[in-house]
Amino acid sequence: MVLTIAAAIFVFGLLVLVHELGHFITAKLTGMRVDEFAIGFGPKLVSFKHGETAYSIRAVPLGGFNDIAGMDPEDKDAGDRGYSAKPVLSRMIVIIAGSAMNLILPIFLFFGIYFFSGVATPSTEPVLGKVIEGEAADKAGLQDGDRIIAIDGKPVETWTDLLAAIRNKGGETLSFRVARGGEEVEAQVTPVYDAQQKRAMVGVMGATETRHPGFAESVQLAVTRTAAILYAMAEALYKILLELSGAELAGPLGVAQMAGEVAQMGFVPLLNFAAFLSLNLGLVNLFPIPALDGGHFLLLCVEAVRGKPLGPKAFGYVQRVGIALLLLLMLFATKNDIMRVFFGS
């Protein structure tokens, strides 16, 4: 539980910090007055003021905000340094900067992983690289580095053979013959069916072979991987919208649970997860839904075409519709979280 909470705070904190920094830096660069830069919501835990801006960390680490003066068109207190007083292009830059930072962050995370930890290539050998604590293999006494020789008397020569031997054996006890330290040992393992993966699993990861690319290759690999994940995410989101299916959606509770599970595998997998989630956040935030950055950007495009912003009444209606859509989405995602966490489906 402690690891899950710590991992969730780290992931949410990193993503929110980077996102809000995007808004903060561009607001300052375009001459806007920022009254507060906050990570988290609720009561202040730590706060100090530097110049005209107060910096704070708040109790609920599930978001953050920039209090930019003049966000409300009716607020004239900020004068020509207010958000609404700035040209449309300046406001567009500030609004889009948060999502842009979330899309850029993974490049740096992947670069750091490749350059410092190397590139891990999955081994085809039936050797256990990682036995996940508390899962079926761990309970049966299997250990990192074990080589699987046979399952129920059938030889296992490759990792594919291992996967095939347990794929459809959920709930059945299998006899594993394992080579460990020059000796052979027997272990009784009962695979558990995973509804999401749609196959039985025992909680192990294959061994990997690691190589260390240079600086330039690490940059290239980081950019390539970021682009590939973005493309896959765009396809998945298109499928969700096309089929009106949100079964894969996860809210804060689900993300926290996943962060805890990934953290058990190590810090590098947690950085990979943070990079993946950052891309997800950046992409979803660009949706043209009022109350999201993409919705604000769309309204600014309308203002640029019309030559004036929407009236207060129209703007209020649009914002209420956007908030209602977000609440419905959050309720659906929370329902999915509850089903996954408490009912395992």
CA dihedral 66, 70, 75, 81 (to 10 degrees): 140
| H helical segments located in the chain | 2-29, 88-112, 136-139, 159-166, 215-243, 252-263, 267-285, 293-306, 312-343
- Three-class SS of residue 234? helix
Of the candidates 20, 172, 186, 217, the residue annotated as catalytic is: 20
Host H or E run for residue 113: none
128-131 vs 204-206, strand pairing mode? antiparallel
Residue 195 exposed, middle or buried by CB count within 10 Å (0-12, 13-18, 19+): exposed
Q: How many CB atoms lie within 10 A of CB 142?
A: 23
Closest CA to 13 of 278, 233, 262: 278
- Name the phi and psi angles at 60, rounded to 5: -105, 105
Closest CA to 170 of 205, 195, 146: 195
Q: How far apart, in whole angstroms, are the C-alpha atoms of residue 230 and residue 176?
A: 40
Closest CA to 35 of 90, 80, 81, 85: 81
Q: How far apart, in whole angstroms, are the C-alpha atoms of residue 91 and residue 325?
A: 24
- Three-class SS of residue 137? helix
Does the active-site annotation cover 20? Answer: yes
Catalytic residues, by residue number, are: 20
